[in-house]
Amino acid sequence: MDSVVDNVRNSVKYIRSSQYRIEQFDKLVLQAGIDCKHQPSLDVSTRWNSTYLMLESTLPFRKVFETLQKQEPSYTFGPSDKEWEMVLDICQLLKVFCHATNVISGSDYPTSNLYFLEIWSVKVVLDEQEKSSNPTVRIMVTEMKKKFHKYFMESYLTNCVPVILDPRFKMELVELRLKKYFGVGADKHIQEVKEAIMALFLAYGAEIEENIIIQSQEKNGEEAGLVDDALSDFDEHVKLKKAKTKMSCNAT
């Protein structure tokens, strides 16, 4: 994919290299009747998500780049029709990764119950793109699925637990997804998830029971202390009364 990405990156650099070229590009956009408020963005080559955003931002301007290629002899790295189709395929593939990254990176809402859902979205797109008409994409996705399976096997148990605790999904969604992923061998993995959630339940149950007992003992002790404080003057009164009675008896 490097040559495709490089051609798009050089195209964006070309139109951003001078004020004249920016203005020329804007005129071609108006002539093409393209309604897009943002110009193509330039990526940071070491960050895949910014590369995705760059590729996505150029797609609405495909006709403009094609016109520019015909009018400007110095513009020699315009993507071919085949490469533009490849850009589209790449964006469809990377979009789900970008969305998952944004969702899981959220800081204003719980995210652990979303991991499994986002990972499954990645799986769905990989399955779709594995049937792509583009042989390069098919080869790439085949390799990606190998890594996906490796990480899925390492993390699915941990990621299933929050889904079960989500009242919208519970165990039903987990069973459905694991049956789709593992097929006839799913029962083993489903049982593993059930055992994990039961172990958590028992551990938390024991901890809560212990805390209740401790709190109850502390509460009883506090209440007894409060009662003692409230009756301290009465106790003193009784002691004095007994002492007076005893003195009277001795005097008699």
Confidence band, pLDDT 50/70/90 cuts, at residue 42: very high
Question: For 114-150, what is each residue's pLDDT tens digit?
Answer: 999 999 999 999 999 998 888 888 998 999 999 999 9
Q: Tell me what pLDDT residue 251 has.
A: 57
Contact 112, 104 (CB under 8 A): no
Given phi > 0 = left and psi -120 to 50 = alpha, else beta, which region is 170?
left
pLDDT of residue 171: 93
**Statement: residue 242 has pLDDT above 80:** no
Please report how the helices 19-31 and 2-15 are oriented relative to each other, as an axis angle in degrees rounded to 10: 100
Q: Which two tokens stand for residue 116?
A: 């499994």
Would you say residue 228 has pLDDT above 60?
no
Q: Is the pLDDT of residue 30 over 60?
A: yes
Confidence of residue 158 (pLDDT cuts 50, 70, 90): very high
Tens digit of each residue's pLDDT (9 = 90 or more) over 171-200: 999 999 999 999 999 999 999 999 999 999
Q: How far, in Å, are 175, 195, 233, 234, 248 from residue 241 at the CA level?
A: 76, 67, 12, 10, 11
Of the two residues 144 and 1, the one the predictor is more confident about is 144
| Alpha helices (H) in the chain, listed in sequence order | 2-15, 19-31, 48-58, 62-71, 81-104, 115-129, 135-165, 170-182, 186-230, 232-251
Percentage of the chain lying above the pLDDT 70 cut: 85
